[in-house]
Amino acid sequence: MPDKDELLWKALATGASILAAVAARNVATAGWKRSAGGDPPTNPADPATSWGEALGWTVLVGVIAGVARLVARRSAADVWQSIQGELPPGLQEVDA
């Protein structure tokens, strides 16, 4: 059974990831509107959406969301480490 620290870390990391996903979607939508001049596709899988539009949107959202999630989780780990004095459960320094 996970201990209190593990559960707390999972909640913190999940919350940070959710906030990052929302921010990433907003950034991607604003970027799409600015560059493409219109709204992004609502459903890229819809056959009425062109392949170029579908792939462009998917790549844009994927890259921005991946980077945002990484930044959020690393930031959460930094906060955890500054408060607890050690890395969060499950994260460990890797010896090169």
Q: Which residues of the chain have pLDDT under 70?
A: 1, 93-96
- Quote the pLDDT of residue 83: 92
What is the residue extent of each domain of the chain? 51-86
pLDDT 10s digits, 55-68: 999 999 999 999 99
17 neighbors 72 (Cβ within 8 angstroms): yes
* pTM: predicted TM-score of the whole model, two decimal places: 0.80
Identify which of 85, 36, 89, 86 has the alpha carbon closest to the alpha carbon of residue 60.
36
- Quote the pLDDT of residue 94: 66
pLDDT 10s digits, 41-54: 999 999 999 999 99
73 neighbors 67 (Cβ within 8 angstroms): no
- Quote the pLDDT of residue 19: 94
